[in-house]
Amino acid sequence: MTITAPDPKTTPTHCPYCALQCGISLDPSPGAGAREPVLLTGRDFETNAGALCRKGYSAANLLNHPERLGSPLLRRPDGGFEPVGWDEALDLLASRAASIRKEHGADAVAVFGAGGLTNEKAYQLGKFARLALGTSRIDYNGRFCMSSAAAAGNRAFGLDRGLPFPLADLDAASMILMLGSNVAETMPPFVRHLENARASGGLIVVDPRRSATAELCVGGSGWHLQPTPGTDLQLLLGLAHVLLAESLVDGHYLATRTNGLAGLRASVGAWWPERVATITGVPAAEIRRTARALAAAAAAAKTGGGGVYILTGRGVEQHANGTDTTTAAINLALLLGLPGTLAGGFGTITGQGNGQGGREHGQKSDQLPGYRKITDPAHRKHVARVWGVAPETLPGPGIPATELLHTLGTESGSRMLMVHASNPVVSSPDASKVLEGLRRLDFLVVCDFFLSETAAEADLVLPVLQWAEEEGTMTNLEGRVLRRRAALVPPEGARGELWIMAELAKRLDSPGTFSADAREVFEELRLASAGGLADYSGVDWDDLDAGAAVYWPCPAGHEVSRVPGQRSGTPRLFLEGFAHPDGKALLVPVHSRARVEALHAEGQLALVTGRLLEHYQSGAQTRRVAELAGAAPEARLEIHPGTARAHGITEGQRVAVRNVRGEVVARAALSTAVRLDTVFLPFHFAGAQNANLLTGSQVDPLSAMPEFKNAPVSLHPLGDES
């Protein structure tokens, strides 16, 4: 597949992978080589200062990859695929959607989106589902990523933005408590923002594994707390207990800026450090040391010292109590008097490239653009007016991702599914159940640029554009709206998803208007978000093109600065008050509950899943990059040498990892970095190495986040043959 640059100019844009959205430059120089149509280099941008990780450096390798799809593919009666023209593909898709709706109702057609879509595609996908298809059945893979953090932020602060402060604020931090995040491997350029905390001896990492990020604490840079998997909530309750019992809290802040202290005090009264130690495995002395150090650093920060920050990631959020655990971390920050001040704060580290923007503009089952609620009459009226329809024509809330995927093809589930930029066969919990559901469908459509494991199950596959071939905006982990720029002429057979939606809307006689032009869609998004929590109405496309640093909310009339280094919009949230009606944050008491799946059988261990340096998400992209696949070609089961010895397992031996849901086969990698009661599997691999064959479908009652990070498993050594 030949791809060419439209002109010889260097294009400044952003990395297609994680929410750090590192600055990159694309140079169409002939020196880029045959493997890559552009030369990709790091660009001096605040999040990365020119540095990139291995995934970022190799991203251009996928643009003209030999496995890239070049035309729509239609399933033949014999099970294979045949290429078809775009008109035939879209006519068939529209016809099947219309007939299934007529026979089974509008909710028989469902849509599954992604946190990697641009703001414009996420916005128009939600509009397309609700107007062109008339369905309430839309959700996205961000449900598996940020939903617990979002639910916790909304109830504590009245607003969810991953980092409510610029990432650069961490550069001057004296202390950072990081729970359940391994940024040293998942987003390596992030590590530069931890250097001051390390130099101050104030980096504290909470993780059941001695991860690469936990290794940063050695040599006096901080310390590592290594709790039993699934006990982060109890650890946080213990830290809060110490702060309150020893009067280490910021009393003035709590009295003037929060509600709920009495209830919180009562809820943590029983969590003294010695009790917490018996549950978490973290010594009581370390719990007291950590609480006292946080309090001392927070007090110093308010008199001119470096800031204190509490950050969470998927390790504490991807649980059936993830919202409560994240809430407990927020409570800790509030007790210290940090959120909404210049002395520090609380934040969650967004994972997917547009994980922040992707959850703001309507592809979530219960939301409309601008972070509006689909159940709120005033919110429905505003969005309906922008879309040119009556409010009553908008469907109500749908069902969250796990329920949507696990009921496909059943009496209560949808009969047709459209998948955009996601690979749920690999990335969903209890993945074998998802695969069964996909195979029950009457019609499955997948938009992708490779034949992913999910696309391989489809009745129709539509080839779409990649990041360097399309215009649009992204919103990174700190709420900064960024411009994604096209640097290449798209391949002849691929189409943009905005164009696909616009063409389908015509065929379905949809109300409203649908554009294939990203800027036109962005202008409508601004109107739809106006007055909402995530207000983009004052964000100007030309300002973004000029490199302005704009953070939402940015309401219309806000003056935007184009001066380099100056921030516009709202870079730091809550300085004048929280987003609740009274302007105060809410301390929410949370309670420890029994584990969803207890380790009850003899010999069972806790399975923790996570990422590797070399791979991203389901691996559909990175497993196709030779240097990344060569460095990490297969799933490796990380297991403590003592545990391995007890199970008769040796280094490199094939091991069957089993539970009631399925079996994964992986080679053993012996390491003291993991606890004796825990094993670790990366979730980037497919087939018999898919870690999500073992994860459960139990979900958080508030966020519907699945229990990804803690499943009981047993180990069974196999032979050593390949």
What pLDDT, in 10s, does the model give residues 13-26? Answer: 999 999 999 999 99
Q: For residues 493 and 43, is the Cβ–Cβ distance under 8 A?
A: no
The answer to whether residue 475 scores a pLDDT higher than 80 is: yes
The answer to whether 410 and 442 have CB atoms below 8 angstroms apart is no
Residue % of the chain over a pLDDT of 90? 93
Asked if pLDDT for residue 683 goes beyond 50, the answer is yes
Nearest to 137 by CA among 128, 149, 146: 128
Q: Please report, rounded to a whole number, the percentage of residues in the chain having pLDDT higher than 70.
A: 97
pLDDT at residue 1, rounded to an integer: 47
CATH topology of domain 605-717: Barwin-like endoglucanases (2.40.40)
Task: Quote the pLDDT of residue 366.
Answer: 95
* φ/ψ (deg, to 5) at 144: -90, 0
> Is the predicted pLDDT of residue 654 greater than 80, yes or no?
yes
Q: What is the pLDDT of residue 632?
A: 96
CB atoms within 10 A of CB 195: 15
Residue 315's pLDDT is 93
Ramachandran assignment for 260, one of left (phi > 0), alpha (psi -120 to 50 degrees), beta (any other): left
| DSSP-based three-state secondary structure for 656 | strand
Which of the given ranges, 27-31, 216-220, 232-236, has the highest pLDDT on average?
A: 232-236
Give tens-digit pLDDT for 136-185.
999 999 999 999 999 999 999 999 999 999 999 999 999 999 999 999 99
CA 567 – CA 580 distance, rounded (Å): 25
Strand positions, DSSP E, 514-604: 549-551, 567-569, 585-586
Q: What is the mean pLDDT of residues 112-130?
A: 98
Task: Calculate ∠ Cα 430-436-441, nearest 5°.
Answer: 130
515-531 mean pLDDT: 98
Q: So what's the pLDDT on residue 559?
A: 80
Strand, coil or helix: 653: coil
What is the rounded average pLDDT of the residues 611-619? Answer: 95
The SS3 of residue 57 is helix
73-143+355-427+445-482+496-535 is a CATH 3.40.1190.20 domain: no
Least confident of 100-114, 556-570, 571-585, 624-638: 556-570
pLDDT digits (tens, 9 = 90+) for 343-367: 999 999 999 999 999 999 999 999 9
| CA–CA separation, 313 and 19 (whole Å) | 12
Distances (CA, A) of 518 to 25, 53, 358: 21, 28, 15
For residue 90, is pLDDT > 50?
A: yes
Is pLDDT at 325 greater than 60 in this prediction? yes
- pLDDT of 373 reads 97
Q: Find the mean pLDDT for residues 2-17.
A: 75
Q: What does DSSP assign to residue 559?
A: P
Structure tokens at 209: 């594994």
Give the DSSP letter of residue 83: E
Long-range contacts of 28-32 (CB under 8 A, 24+ apart): 28/4, 28/487, 28/488, 32/60
Mean pLDDT within 386-415: 97
What is the reported pLDDT for 719?
79
Average pLDDT, stretch 87-106?
Answer: 98
Confidence at residue 36, expressed as pLDDT on a 0 to 100 scale: 84
Q: Collect all residues with Cβ–Cβ distance below 8 Å to 646 and sequence separation of at least 6.
A: none
Structure tokens at 39: 């030369």
Name the pLDDT band for 560 (thresholds 50, 70, 90).
confident
The predicted model scores a pTM of 0.96
- Lowest-pLDDT choice from 225-234, 570-579, 589-598: 589-598
Q: Which helix (H) or strand (E) holds 308?
A: strand 308-312
Residue 5 predicted with pLDDT over 60: no
Quick check: 536 and 370 in contact, CB under 8 A? Answer: yes
Averaged over 182-196, what is the pLDDT?
97
What is the predicted pLDDT for the residue at 599?
Answer: 52
Helix (H) or strand (E) holding 274: helix 273-280
DSSP state at residue 707: -
Domain boundaries 147-349, corresponding CATH code? 3.40.228.10
pLDDT at 561 over 60: yes
Domain boundaries, the chain: 73-143+355-427+445-482+496-535, 147-349, 605-717
Average pLDDT of 43-51?
96
Report residue 158 as tokens.
């009245």
Q: What is the pLDDT of residues 286-320, one digit of tens each?
A: 999 999 999 999 999 999 999 999 999 999 999 99
Over residues 424-445, the mean pLDDT reads 97
Pairing of strands 480-484, 472-475: antiparallel
pLDDT at 35: 73
Mean of the per-residue pLDDT values for the chain? 95
Tally of CA atoms within 13 A in the half-sphere of 604 that contains its CB: 14
pLDDT value of residue 722: 46
- Asked whether residue 617 carries a pLDDT value surpassing 80, the answer given is yes
Tokens of 16: 């297609």
Q: Which two tokens stand for residue 579?
A: 């987003």
pLDDT of 49 over the 80 cut: yes
Q: Which two tokens stand for residue 74?
A: 């239609």
> Half-sphere exposure of residue 221, counting CA atoms within 13 Å on the CB side?
16
Token reading at 598: 């207890």
Residues ≥6 apart with Cβ < 8 Å to 103: none
Residue 482 token pair: 């960024």
Question: Which DSSP category does 130 fall into?
Answer: I
**What is the distance of C-alpha 543 from the center of its chain?**
27
Confidence of residue 249 (pLDDT cuts 50, 70, 90): very high
What is the band of 2 on the pLDDT scale with cuts at 50, 70, 90?
Answer: very low
